Chains A and B, each alone.
Chain A
Amino acid sequence: DQQVKQNSPSLSVQEGRISILNCDYTNSMFDYFLWYKKYPAEGPTFLISISSIKDKNEDGRFTVFLNKSAKHLSLHIVPSQPGDSAVYFCAASVRGGSNYKLTFGKGTLLTVNP
């Protein structure tokens, strides 16, 4: 049973436009969410996170929105750049849990066209 779902395997956008990557979760115990970016044959790098006490967190071109009632979060990248082309993973965790595990989605491949 997949607790974190990224239903779009891929997304293509034009340089300079907005990229919106979506993530849904089913476990209502999750209260901390993260986005990672991954290039082929490399380890994922942390991008941005949000706790359940917030509905928005912003860091430069990256903004994450959380809708707890819908169990949905999204990552906005504005403006998109060709270097943003990568696989983006959504992850979720239960803070205060005993194991600090992250549950990952399957990822969305973002392609930013020049």
Chain B
Amino acid sequence: DGGITQSPKYLFRKEGQNVTLSCEQNLNHDAMYWYRQDPGQGLRLIYYSQIVNDFQKGDIAEGYSVSREKKESFPLTVTSAQKNPTAFYLCASSSFGTSGSYEQYFGPGTRLTVT
């Protein structure tokens, strides 16, 4: 089955600890994205990557870091510098619109709780 997997589904961390969220896709998509969702805030873009070994900051990148060493994988690290890390994190991927479409396909999400 083709799709996007995120693990774990729920993650708990103590304040001051870095934590890495996993995202893997087998859709052969070039582009991958990380969003966070907070109540009443919609989806806000953290980082995105269009190609291996390259990534760009989104609208709320402070306190986060990413890597793109493989086409299939785009892990997100939530560092201790992120002031409000508790949120629902969503990973997505897309092709480059060669078919004329620009849909992003989302994983099931990871709920991170930092106390």
Per-residue 0/1 for A79-107: is the Cβ within 8 Å of any B Cβ (1 yes, 0 no)?
00000000001000101000111101111
Question: Which chain A residues have a beta carbon within 8 Å of chain B's beta carbons?
Answer: 9, 32, 34, 36, 41-46, 49, 51, 89, 93, 95, 99-102, 104-107
B43 & A104 in contact (Cβ 8 Å cutoff):
yes
Q: A41-B109, A44-B106, A100-B31 are in contact. Are A107 and B42 (CB under 8 A)?
A: yes
Q: A9-B40, A43-B90, A95-B97 are in contact. Are A100 and B102 (CB under 8 A)?
A: yes
In the assembled complex, which residues on chain A have CB atoms less than 8 Å from the CB atom of B31?
A: 100
In the assembled complex, which residues on chain A have CB atoms less than 8 Å from the CB atom of B90?
A: 43-44
CB-CB contacts below 8 Å: B18-74 with A: 31, 33, 35, 40-45, 48, 50, 56, 58
B109 & A43 in contact (Cβ 8 Å cutoff):
yes
* A–B Cβ pairs within 8 angstroms, 11 of them: A32-B102, A34-B103, A43-B4, A43-B108, A45-B106, A46-B105, A95-B102, A100-B97, A101-B48, A101-B58, A106-B40
Shortest CB-to-CB span from A22 to chain B, Å, is: 15
A100 & B50 in contact (Cβ 8 Å cutoff):
yes
* Interface size, chain B (Cβ < 8 Å): 32
A102 to B106, CA, bound (A): 13
Closest to A47 in B: B103
A36 to B103, CA, bound (A): 10
Closest to A90 in B: B42
In the assembled complex, which residues on chain B have CB atoms less than 8 Å from the CB atom of A102?
A: 45, 102, 104
A90 to B97, CA, bound (A): 19
A89 & B101 in contact (Cβ 8 Å cutoff):
no
A43 & B42 in contact (Cβ 8 Å cutoff):
no
Contact of A42 among B58, B100, B109 (CB under 8 A): B109
In the assembled complex, which residues on chain A have CB atoms less than 8 Å from the CB atom of B6?
A: 43
A104 to B90, CA, bound (A): 13
Report which residue of B4, B35, B103, B106 has the largest number of chain A beta carbons within 10 angstroms of its beta carbon.
B103
In the assembled complex, which residues on chain A have CB atoms less than 8 Å from the CB atom of B109?
A: 41-43
